[in-house]
A and B are shown apart, each in its own frame.
Chain A
Amino acid sequence: MKGRRAYDILILIFALTILSGCGNNINTGDVRNYSDSILENILISGNLRNYNDYSKDFSDNMKAALTEDLFNKNNALVKDKIGEYVSKDFIKVNTKKEKGINYIIVIYNAKYSKEPQGALVSITFKEKDENHKVEGLFMTSPKLAGK
């Protein structure tokens, strides 16, 4: 009985942990007003191999993490595996809290010339940042995962 009770408590803690991440008051339209154009610039700049334009909306942390050398390496891989960026469709906005900071994660499906179903791209901003600096950028697709 003691063991079963301990398990019940563990499952309750687990459930509360999950539920604590649910629910947000983000206005999708407001977020898309800046995220659509910022991501469009990033993906077009990737096509053009232009790091200066690619990183112009990056936060300092992002610039330090995603240097020009790394950009060139990643961009070459993306072009090789999934081709050129064509267009994108908005999917949804998520939020997360990390180290006391609220983040907004905007998710798109980006069409690429050699990836028929598209690549999933997420772009992350700080919720309270009025300059809308990019804090995170992630891309995956079946062909990229199979590299």
Chain B
Amino acid sequence: MIFSYSILFMAISAFIGVFIPIIISVFLSMKYKASWKAVTVGAAIFVIFQLATRIPLLQYLQKTYWYSYNLVVNPWLIYILAGLSAGIFEEVGRFIGIKYFLKDKQQWKNGIAYGIGHGGIEAIIFCGVPLIITIVNSLATGTLPNEPAYLFLVSGIERISAMTFHVGASLMVLYAVRERKYRYVLYAILAHSILDSAIGFIKGIFFIELWAAVAAMTTLIFMIIKIKNNSSEKIMS
């Protein structure tokens, strides 16, 4: 029974990780004429600033005594470093992507499309593809990873929170660019850093996922209210 639940939950999360971003992108494009270029730039910026830059730098840092020492003695410092680096790399990347590569696509709907591209490629790489490989391996060998079944479902739910946050953060940075209020880039860095750093401090998977969901929804709702109050253009026009 556990075996079937594990496969079922992996399949649900793999679907969320791979197909939800694609379905939302197609929906945004067909119904609201959102730009595929925004989706693509969002995905490309994630790959360049996260996979090709931040992660190799963190891997290099992990091989230093400073990192080993603080991981054990002052783990809070590592949590903050991990969160802050994610905030700086991803939000500065988002700013560059929106300001310089989407000059003619800075409608709000394209901010949402950018966020789906950014969060979607992250979901595909870190959740969808690994789970598909695990499902195939499990079915081929008849064995499962030694983890409770519900954790496989959690990984998919977490991707929904992450994509929600990326949409909110993309609107925040787009707001900074459109309104020339560049302090909103700093707010995006701060929000991203707090969201990620806090995960290290919070104990228990339920509270971690609750935090991620609440922080992501708060960011998105904050930006929707901000845009409605300050922009004559409708978000999905």
A interface residues (Cβ-Cβ under 8 A, vs B): 2-4, 6-7, 10-11, 14, 17-18, 21, 91-92, 98, 107, 109, 117-122, 138, 140-146
Contacts and interface: CB of A to CB of B under 8 A. Distances in A.
10 contacts: A7-B191, A10-B215, A10-B218, A118-B65, A120-B68, A120-B69, A138-B72, A140-B71, A144-B68, A146-B63
A118 B202 CA distance: 30
A117 B63 CA distance: 12
A90 to B, nearest CB: 12
Contact of B194 (A14, A122, A146): A14
B198 interface: yes
Interface string B78-111: 0000000000000000000000000000000000
A120 B215 contact: no
* Chain B interface mostly: helix
Interface residues of B, number: 25
A96 B71 CA distance: 15
Contact of A142 (B65, B198, B203, B222): B65
A3 B226 contact: yes
Given A6-B218, A11-B194, A120 B72 contact: yes
A141 B68 contact: yes
B150 to A, nearest CB: 17
B181 to A, nearest CB: 14
A109 B202 CA distance: 27
Contacts of B214: 10
